[in-house]
Amino acid sequence: MTTTTSRVNPNVSDATARAAAKAANENQPVTFGKALNTALADALTAEQSVVIFGEDVGTLGGVFRITDGLTARFGSERCFDTPLAESGIVGMAIGMAMNGMRPVIEMQFDAFAYPAFEQIASHVAKMRNRTQGRLPLPMVIRIPYAGGVGGVEHHCDSSEAYYAHTPGLKVFTPATVADAYLMLREAIDSEDPVVFFEPKKLYWSKEQVNLEELAQQYESGKAARTEGKARIARAGSDATLITYGPSVSTCMQAAKVAAEEGISLEVIDIRTIVPFDDESMAASVRKTGRAIVVAEAQGFASVASEIVARVQERCFHSLAAPVLRVTGFDIPFPAPTLEKYNLPSVERILDTVDQLQWEA
């Protein structure tokens, strides 16, 4: 780690901030967005080489307020606005990572990250390899993604497959408040570049999580690692729903309804698409003998397709039915009033569960 001069605002001590956070945590549930915000603040505190920048992340605190208060607390050299140019943001972050910093940058929306694709695919992903490990790029590209929020065109894409298809990138996507915190901390501390997909429909979701405690666990190394470790979101025995990001909550609802109908569904949240946890997924499917992959992205040539292929390669002899998929349709993401027809729904998941050859 490089040493940098402290830019922390001396008027707000860490102790004060932590005490305030603690008080807040003990009494009320925490939003997914607040967990991300706290993870960023804690990373800025823990490591002087962490810098945050992007469009509107400074004074405004980001269009989703994920960087709220960071400039005021840590100063405008640690969290700052850039000109409006995504390739520029990613390209500058590459240079900063080459020179000892750990940039955490925000792409304002999924589809607005496309101008940066060359920088990401040709350089973020390949600099370590091109230099035989001499120029690692420890950086995080945060991307709010997916639908379910009534967003207009260019604001609802599920673009994870492009990045997952690119060797050299890690791809994380949390689905719970606790994971939002832990996975972002891990991503920032990773020696590899991480594309961090935040399901924007979850930003306002709340859970009873003590962030202060989580931070202590993470910093003392006691928190279980999330990278490459899928999570059993719900245990079950009849079939496995394999999913990630915004679709986890939909699968949990589907499992609840199915349980009322006497079907026990296991829900696996894969958490990190890259690296991928084949073992946990295969263990579940070998146990249940049936699997459905659920993801919001269009299904053709998708992460869901890859998961189906991996399941059948590993679990063929345990399968009682073909592995099926519930994904977005192969159409551009629809307008707000029509998105409900495209998104994987509880009904569509349950209909697909019905097709898993239960009679055979």
Partner 1 sequence: MSTDAHADRMTEVSDKFGITPEDYMLPARHMINLLDPDGTLRPQDKQGTEPGHEYPLPSPARLMEAYSALVTGRRVNDQNSALVRQGRMAVYPSSHGQEACQVAAALCLEEGDWLFPTYRDTVAVLTKGVAPMEVMTSFRGEWHCGYDPKAYNCAPMATPLTTQLLHAVGVAHAAKLRGENTVVVAMCGDGATSEGDFHEALNFAAVFNLPVIFFVQNNKYAISVPFSQQSAAPSLAHKAVGYGMAGERVDGNDLMALMSVMTRAVRLAREGNGPLLVEAHTYRMQAHTNADDDKRYREDSEVAEWKAKDPVIRIQSYLDDAGLLTEQAAADISQKAEAVAKTLRDGMNQDADTDPLELFEHVYSSKTPQMAEQQALLADELAREEA
Binding site residues, partner 1, CB under 8 A: 2, 4-5, 51, 77, 82-83, 85, 87-88, 90-101, 103, 115, 118-119, 122-123, 127-136, 167-168, 170, 190-192, 228, 274-276, 278-279
Examine the residue annotation and report whether 123 is marked as an active-site residue of this protein. no
* Of residues 227 and 296, the one with the C-beta less far from partner 1: 227
* Of residues 103 and 144, the one with the C-beta less far from partner 1: 103
The active-site residue out of 123, 154, 155, 165 is: 155
- Cβ of residue 181: shortest distance to partner 1, in angstroms? 22
- Cβ of residue 79: shortest distance to partner 1, in angstroms? 12
* Of residues 32 and 276, the one with the C-beta less far from partner 1: 276
- Cβ of residue 105: shortest distance to partner 1, in angstroms? 11
Cα separation, 216 vs 218, whole angstroms:
5
- Cβ of residue 118: shortest distance to partner 1, in angstroms? 6
* Of residues 80 and 203, the one with the C-beta less far from partner 1: 80
* Of residues 134 and 317, the one with the C-beta less far from partner 1: 134
- Cβ of residue 96: shortest distance to partner 1, in angstroms? 4
Which positions are catalytic? 155
